[in-house]
Homo-oligomer: A and B are copies of this chain.
Amino acid sequence: MSALPNEQTLAVVEGHAGVLNGPLALEVVMDVAVSAQEIKRADLLQMYYYLRLTRTLEDRVTALYRQGRIVGGCYTSHGMEAIAVGYASALERDDVIAPFHRDMGAFLVRGITPGEVLAQYLGKRTGPTNGKDGNVHMGDLKRGIIGFVSHLADNLPVATGAALAFKIRGERRVVFTGTGDGGTSRGDFHEAMNFAAVRKLPVVIFCNNNQYAYSTPVRYQMAITDVVERAKAYGMPGEIVDGNDVAAVYLASKRAIARARDGGGPTFLEFKTMRMHGHSEHDPAKYVPRELLEEWKKKDPILKAEHLLTQLGYGDEAAFREAGERAKKEVEAGLDFAERSPLPEGPEALEGVFAERADSE
């Protein structure tokens, strides 16, 4: 977990980029395994657990949605779990995240429980927003999570401001934020990237490039293939990372976080991945070519993590099964909690428009 030198270069993580275009090959896993040795066994196993927990929880949400028990949008990170789990695991407790709508793993790693998430989905008073908002629109400053705003990329300037606060106070804290390939088209992406670079703020900004924004493929979103091209235009280092490889995400995030913490300023990370479900669970996503999904299915982040853990001798089938069962139990207990939780009462709708005092007071 050593910090990298602050080279202002556009680097592709050695040995990882190759994973993106071919099917899962043993040589590549070998390469990952080499650098993954930097990661503590326990950390890697914990990340694996969070991958399973995220998958289990979101699959549960999808099932509830299909049963008509969840209303409104259902955005999952199915097939992209490694990104949020990887970057959130790379942060310290005092750091802050401003996640986007495919970052369930980050909420979990930072301590939002499956029960709270399900309560949020069910509109219960015990969810992080007390029923005021739904699904992934949650946040909690006590756990260092800036609440997600629907308007894509709106939280990027906000994240730079959090980083500015740390810089002004001389604190060695870092902010991690990001948006989708679609979200990069918004003006706020630009204004945030630029401000972060000008003031060398301790912030890491990522793009979850899952190749689609709702139905819109990347080629209608931008005239470049790699979003990371943009980093250079702000005078910021950037990396392309295999977003399906939790170890790669973790290591690249660690490097970027270390740079930020050491006063080296912001980094831009492009996590290449693929959205495996519809935009929201109502969307059959017929516009995505079947072959593309077939290809990416082989690169599933859980599968990849299992290969790696096996390779490193950190885990085996039995351990994986055990983790899956533990995740299932945790989610079911959470659902029980959520279901037994009360709904808010109507008049609570009137509460909370204004703060009585600021949190820091």
Interface of A with B (CB < 8 Å)? 185-191, 194, 197-198, 200, 219-224, 229-230, 232-236
The residue that A185 contacts in the complex, of B188, B189, B194, B232, with Cβ under 8 A, is: B194
Q: Per a CB cutoff under 8 Å, which of B190, B191, B197, B222 touches A235?
A: B222
Chain B nearest CB from A236 CB (Å) reads: 7
Number of copies: 2
The 10 residue pairs across chains A and B that have the minimum distance between CB atoms: A187-B187, A223-B235, A190-B190, A233-B233, A197-B223, A224-B235, A230-B233, A229-B233, A198-B223, A187-B191
Residue of B nearest to A197 (CB): B223
A197 to B229, CA, bound (A): 14
Q: Which residue on chain B has the smallest CB distance to residue A233?
A: B233
- With a cutoff of 8 Å between Cβ atoms, the chain B residues found around residue A233 in the complex are 224, 229-230, 232-233
Chain B: CB-nearest residue to A231: B233
A229: chain B residues within 8 A (beta carbon): 232-233, 235
Checking B191, B200, B222 against A197 with a beta-carbon cut-off of 8 angstroms, the contacting residue is: B222
Minimum C-beta distance from A264 to chain B (A): 12
A198 touching B222 by the CB < 8 A rule?
yes
- Cβ of A214 to closest chain B Cβ, rounded Å: 16
8 Å CB contact of A190 from B187, B197, B200, B232: B187
> A234 contacts which chain B residues (CB < 8 A)?
222-224
Q: How far is the CA of A1 from the CA of B233 in the complex (A)?
A: 31
How many angstroms from the CA of A229 to the CA of B234 in the assembled complex? 8
Q: How far does the alpha carbon of A186 sit from the alpha carbon of B194 in the complex, in Å? A: 10
Contacting residues, chain B, for A224 (C-beta < 8 A): 233-235
Measured between beta carbons, the chain B residues less than 8 angstroms from A236 are 223
Give the distance to chain B from A298, nearest Cβ to Cβ, in Å.
30
Q: Which residues of B contact A223 (CB under 8 A)?
A: 194, 197-198, 200, 234-236
Look across to chain B and name the residue whose beta carbon is closest to the beta carbon of A229: B233
